[in-house]
């Protein structure tokens, strides 16, 4: 199982612009057949800091997610409002 | 619901020392009555980078966790092997 933390940093004046884009991205991604979980969070100390916690069966499933119509359409729209580059972290579950 | 990401950065030569400490911390924490979820992960690119993803009903439950016998005993033992200070992030679930 692959766990992912993906973090976005959005300009304060554009938080309202990204909300419907994130809403659609979460909804469509949860409908992907290989998606185990895909949940979005907001830093309690920074309303422009958005944090995805994702779970995929393997790297191929994550790659397939990044190649979906909704990902390729919505992520560039979100990214235009970034104040700094996003980060992502791929993790194995501790045994 | 409160979600937490807590990250530890352990010296490479001490990874084997922290493994049993983390194992006990995870086991005991999952037994806490207020713990919703508490899962540990390892960065695929850095075996000394440990990442907890935690879920608590509220801040009081997290504070109670930090006041347990196992937390106060095990975390200082883990921390002596850190290569840099740990970080934590408190988050609300995106609606």
* Reported confidence tier of residue B95, pLDDT bands at 50, 70, 90: confident
Please count the structural domains in chain B. Answer: 1
Enumerate residues 26 to 85 of chain B having a beta carbon within 8 A of any beta carbon in chain A: 26, 39-45, 50-51, 53
Residues in chain A, how many? 95
Per-residue model confidence as pLDDT tens digits over A20-63: 999 999 999 999 999 999 999 999 999 999 999 999 999 999 99
CB pairs under 8 A between A and B: 56
Could you write out the DSSP letters of every residue in B30-66?
Answer: HTSTT-SEEEEEEETT-TTEEEEEEEESSHHHHHHHH
Comparing CB atoms, the residue among A3, A51, A90 nearest residue B91 is: A51
**CA separation for the pair A53, A38 (Å, rounded):** 6
CA atoms lying within 13 Å on the CB side of residue A64: 11
Residues of the domain holding A42:
2-92
Distance from CA of B35 to the nearest CA of A (A): 18
Comparing CB atoms, the residue among B26, B92, B94 nearest residue A44 is: B92
Among candidates A45, A15, A48, which has minimal Cα distance to B90?
A45
The CATH number linked to B19 is: 3.30.70.100
Using a CB-CB distance cutoff of 8 angstroms, which residues of chain B are in contact with residue A90?
43-45
Per-residue model confidence as pLDDT tens digits over A74-90: 999 999 999 999 999 99
Contact A93 B39 (CB under 8 A): yes
pLDDT tops 90 at residue A95: no
Q: What is the DSSP letter of A14?
A: G
Q: What is the ipTM of this complex?
A: 0.94
Per-residue model confidence as pLDDT tens digits over B25-72: 999 999 999 999 999 999 999 999 999 999 999 999 999 999 999 999
């Amino acid at each position: 199982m692959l766990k992912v933390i993906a973090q976005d940093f959005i300009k304060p004046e554009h938080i309202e612009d990204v909300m419907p884009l994130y809403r659609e991205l979460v909804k469509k991604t949860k409908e992907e057949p290989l998606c185990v979980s895909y949940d979005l969070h907001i830093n309690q100390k920074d309303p422009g800091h958005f944090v995805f916690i994702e779970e995929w069966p393997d790297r191929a499933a994550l790659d397939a997610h990044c190649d979906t119509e909704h990902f390729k359409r919505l992520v560039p729209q979100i990214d235009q409002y970034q104040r700094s580059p996003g980060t992502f972290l791929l993790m194995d579950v501790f045994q």
